[in-house]
A = this chain, B = another copy of it.
Amino acid sequence: MKINHLAVVVHSVEDALLFWRDALGLPFNGIEEVPEEAVKVGFLDANGVHIELLEPTTDDSGVAKFLDKRGPGMHHLCLEVDDLEHAMASLKANGMQLIYEEPRVRDNGRRYTFVHPKSTGGVMIELYEADEA
């Protein structure tokens, strides 16, 4: 199991890049608009772990509400798993609360779910299947 990415919610990707890209000097892999999640994402890399800076592009998305309620900061940590069903079964057997009880599928075919922060000690965790099903 490895960390795929850390997602950080920010007011402005451009402003946050002044730290992550310019001052810290992390490799920068561009900005993408993701309309279906209503975010603009800045991608950086720290030795194989991606850092994603998420800026909401509407006022009513999940990310926008997170920013309103909690302010900027860590949104979730994404871990790659080999077998999502196996991981989900282990979590359920241990009484952990999943946000999606069944795997969801992204446009690129990758399957994922999220574990509720209540079950993890306050950090939302994305589980992401490393190989396509």
Contact = CB atoms under 8 A, between A and B. Distances in A.
Contacts of A94: 18-19, 22-23
Contact of A3 (B11, B49, B115): B49
A10 interface: yes
Contact of A91 (B9, B23, B90, B121): B23
B96 A19 contact: yes
A19 to B, nearest CB: 5
A63 interface: no
By DSSP majority rule, is chain A's interface helix, strand, loop, or mixed? mixed
Given A1-B26, A46-B1, A79-B24, A19 B90 contact: no
A43 interface: no
A8 B122 contact: yes
Nearest to A79: B46
Given A8-B123, A24-B1, A46-B3, A19 B73 contact: no
